[in-house]
Amino acid sequence: MMSLPVGHAEGQVIAPASPPALAPQGGGQSGAVAPQPVIQLSDIYKGFFLGTDHELTVLKGVNLAIYPGEFVSIVGSSGSGKSTLMNIIGLLDRPTSGRYLLGDVDISEADDNEAALIRSLSIGFVFQNFNLVGRTDALKNVELPMMYAGVGRAQRRERALKLLELVGMSERIHHQPSELSGGQKQRVAIARAMANDPDIILADEPTGALDTATGLMVMDLFHRLHREQGKTIVLITHNPELAEQTQRIFTMVDGVLGEGVSTKGGAQ
């Protein structure tokens, strides 16, 4: 499993001496040392200026701890701030104030290049609208993150083929997005999110553009990745029923994040 990089020098990734380990699935042995959070936010605020003299505060003192190998959800209505929070967790944006630790890395001390490197190697994204590259077949779409990470052609081709097989798309590797159904596009997007073997998957409304049956199949795929590969998965959704399938639910209302509530049978 890839460790979280803490910086780079002369183009090389520098890994911490003790990268965060995945939490054991199905319960650990008694007496085992409790894992440290892989995602830890402390007193996070995010504001946007409207004009020159008015700031809209979107996130208000958010505290969040997610542990290696967890499958959690952040649920809230449109405008609650959950997508802004996802952007901060995913290093697509920075908070106005507060502290963010990603594994052993203090993100507030990372410059933009370091943050981009950490994001590309440690976090995979799945979006509602798939965000696949048009006029590019499924195989090359999955290869793209590896190409940007400097992986050789033969190695990235081999891994892309394995990932497409994993998500049940081995018969569609040369199909372009316009030739795929919504569910097929999302499966390709999930394979792409796994390209650089990230520890964390962020899924922003991944079933929002799908019918109910297809959405359930996509959720089953997330459960497999969580159960069989130990991925830490953060699901962003407005749908409480989807959230109930995860291990813990965090509810966001008007920029305030509630404490995580354990579910009865999520992510089994």
64-113: pLDDT as tens digits: 999 999 999 999 999 999 999 999 999 999 999 999 999 999 998 899 99
Mean pLDDT calculated for residue range 34-63: 91
Task: Delimit the domains of the chain by residue range.
Answer: 60-262
Residue 218: per-residue pLDDT? 94
Mean pLDDT calculated for residue range 233-246: 95
2-18: pLDDT as tens digits: 344 433 333 333 333 33
Cβ-contact 182, 214 below 8 angstroms: yes
* pTM, rounded to two decimals: 0.85
| Terminal alpha carbon distance of the chain | 22
Tokens 């509602």 sit on residue:
128
| 44: nearest Cα among 92, 4, 94, 103 | 94
Architecture of domain 60-262: 3-Layer(aba) Sandwich (3.40)
Helix axes 182-193, 212-229, angle to 10 degrees: 20
